[in-house]
Amino acid sequence: MTTEISTQTQPRGLSLQSFDDAFRFAKMVASSEFAPKDFKGKAESCLLAIQHGSEVGLSPMQSLQSIAVINGRPTIWGDAALALVQSSPVCEYVKEYTEGQGDTLTAVCEAKRRGYPAPTVSRFSMADAKRAGLAGKSGPWSQYPERMLALRARGFALRNAFADALRGLITAEEAQDYPAAAVSVSQPEPVAERAKVKAASEADMAKARKAINGTHDLGKLADFLATVVERHEAGFYTDGQASDLKNLIDVAVGVLQSTAEVTA
């Protein structure tokens, strides 16, 4: 007989029942003062953050405050990760403390999963930070080194002990410490030239329009939108092409919603 308990929790706050509800909410947030800086005016990014957050049990507003894209990958802020773990019924306890001082300062995090014989223990020391080139960096690593050590130890412990609760997301603080992929930015290519080189061909655009117009499933339309956003950000759609496809998706969603209301 297992002592394991499900990590599923009841949703809180606003409940978005459809893709149309979620996208309208994302548009509203993106144009409001409540939008985090990176999401301001970006309804598609708001929608994807809400989706990522919902997969780990965060409400829409919690998702917008707690999910961030760092170096091209979705992450979760450290305190939100801890909150998710602590609210999970499989979490028995999470303990955090430090050992030593100065160059021997070490942050320790013990994460105990219910039913397991021993806690998962992670340590991150000032020596580790120096080896990783973090100690002394301008910003939080210079101003709050003890806090940054604690967040690193916490991230490792929570991911090792509660990967199911976090759905594989790493903490934003950890992701920020990793170097971004090497990209030449000394002479940035003008946007117009980049779009001219990487813009989708008319054949590809015609294929995308046909796929959207032939889709009768809101979930697939949400996938299409995510793909359009990703390709646009990667430079494979011009602003005009991305806007064209997003408008088609909006129309398709509206048609499906109207049809559902009529048949209900």
- Collect contacts of 178-184 with beta carbons under 8 A, ≥24 apart: 178/71, 180/71, 180/72, 181/71, 181/72
Which two three-digit tokens encode residue 6? 């499900």
Domain ranges of the chain: 19-70, 80-165, 192-258
The per-residue pLDDT for 122 is 95
| Class of residue 162 by CB neighbours under 10 A (exposed 0-12, middle 13-18, buried 19+) | buried
| The one-letter amino acid at 247 | N
- Flag whether pLDDT at 4 surpasses 60: no
Measured CA distances, 121 to 51, 164, 218 (Å): 31, 18, 43
Percent of the chain, pLDDT > 90? 25
pLDDT of residue 194: 43
Note the maximum CA span of the chain: 69
54-111, pLDDT tens digit by residue? 888 888 888 888 888 887 778 898 789 999 999 999 999 999 999 998 889 999 999 9
Q: How far apart are CA 86 and CA 84, in angstroms?
A: 6
d(CA 169, CA 160): 11
Q: What is the pTM of this model?
A: 0.59
pLDDT at position 180 is 58
Q: pLDDT tens digit string along 152-190?
A: 999 999 999 998 898 888 888 888 777 655 333 344 444
Cα 163 to the center of its chain, rounded Å:
15
pLDDT at 235 over 80: no
Q: What are phi and psi of 92, to 5 degrees?
A: -85, -45
DSSP, res 110:
E
Question: Tell me: the pLDDT tens digits for 112-148?
Answer: 999 999 999 999 999 999 988 888 888 888 888 999 9
Give pLDDT, residue 8.
Answer: 45
Give me the pLDDT at residue 12, please. Answer: 54
- pLDDT tens digits, residue range 236-258? 788 778 777 887 787 777 766 66
